[in-house]
Amino acid sequence: MNPLAHGHPINRLACLFGVLALTAGCQSSAPIDITKVLTWLPSDTETLIVANGPFWMSNFRVDESRVLSRTISTEELQKYFRRLILSEVLRFATLSNTLDRERVVIAVEGSRRFRRPTGLGLMPYEGCEIVVFARDQTGRFESFMQEAVTRGLKVDEIEGNRVAVAREMREEDIWTTFVAHPSERVIVAATNRDYLQEALARIRGDRGQRALPDSLPEWKHIDRDAEFWGLRHYKEGASEEDLTSPLRCSREWCDKQAIGLIFGSSPSQQRIATITYFSRDPERRRSFDRFFLESEEGYKGLQMRSRDITPDGAENSFVLRDPDSVHHFFFGFLFLVGHGLAL
């Protein structure tokens, strides 16, 4: 029996981290904020994606047959974002079923070293997802581990944590997923052992240079209160295997002066997502427009408006109302944050 649940078409692996805001009735643990969480990430992390809570765990599935001919609801659009961020956790059907209806306070993804797949499919990369819950998940994680052993999953030990390990063929590449429970309210799912090991050591208390420091220009323009937000800061010397970095100038994307990008969306307020692209190249807007509106795949029906917000930054807004616009946006968005899909 395959212990992994089928993934969503826009699945990708990454590192989810949580910010915990304590409220009445919660446990008396010290609060965790995003600054603290960033100290857990390896210093060469390139992409960060955040889902602010509270929300409740589910499989976050959207009935595609029901939305093909109508406007997508706020709840459905939220599910698209949450399933994107929690994709690796959701691959373990037993785990997601065990956590069903548990209250999530926040989830954050961090990732790095994106590379071309062997054939078709999602670009492999290193990263992990961490979900922070409102209450202790120790009992639920133990239930998951017992079921994992029954189903034949390997159990390893990393930085003093028991870790469930699963291997799966995705198209022509073998992906390995690791799941750990480093503290009472935190569940971690990762695609790379080294990334996970460093994150677990940092969660335990090891120190090191912080990922994505506050000195980066992208931070000045991020709305941390948005339901979904994040950033990518391009790394110099991008691998030739990274099709998604404009610094390496592939046929898909070329901008030697690119700095990074940020994004944000709050579907409960409006069905709009913004991506702000930063570059020292005065032609940055044209470069971004060409990528999103003139790619080989095409983005027909996707409405985009642009405006300069700084001399180096252009904000691009996308209206997400119907299935075509949502699917086209996510296809391009995933590529931009390093999680491209080769077709």
Between helix 323-336 and helix 74-85 the angle, nearest 10°, is 30
According to the model, what pLDDT value does residue 27 have? 40
Long-range contacts of 178-182 (CB under 8 A, 24+ apart): 178/128, 179/89, 179/92, 179/95, 179/144, 181/137, 181/138, 181/141
According to the model, what pLDDT value does residue 325 have? 86
- Residues of the chain with pLDDT > 90, as a percent, come to 62
Low-confidence ranges of the chain (pLDDT < 70): 1-32, 65-69, 238, 251-252, 293-301
According to the model, what pLDDT value does residue 254 have? 83
- Residues of the chain with pLDDT > 70, as a percent, come to 85
Q: Which residues pair with 110 in a beta bridge?
A: 48, 128
| Angstrom distance (rounded) from CA 269 to CA 281 | 33
Distances (CA, A) of 324 to 68, 69, 145, 321, 328: 8, 10, 39, 8, 6
Q: Which residues pair with 56 in a beta bridge?
A: 103
According to the model, what pLDDT value does residue 338 have? 94
According to the model, what pLDDT value does residue 253 have? 75
Both tokens of 236, joined, read: 């110099």
Q: Strand (E) positions, 11-102?
A: 47-56
pTM for the complete prediction?
0.87
According to the model, what pLDDT value does residue 69 have? 60
According to the model, what pLDDT value does residue 26 have? 37
| Angstrom distance (rounded) from CA 323 to CA 67 | 7
Q: Which distant-in-sequence residues (6+ apart) come within 8 Å of 225 by Cβ?
A: 52
**288 and 317 Cβ atoms separated by less than 8 Å:** no
| Angstrom distance (rounded) from CA 67 to CA 79 | 13
**133 and 185 Cβ atoms separated by less than 8 Å:** yes
Q: Strand (E) positions, 149-240?
A: 154-158, 161-170, 173-183, 186-190, 228-233
According to the model, what pLDDT value does residue 300 have? 61
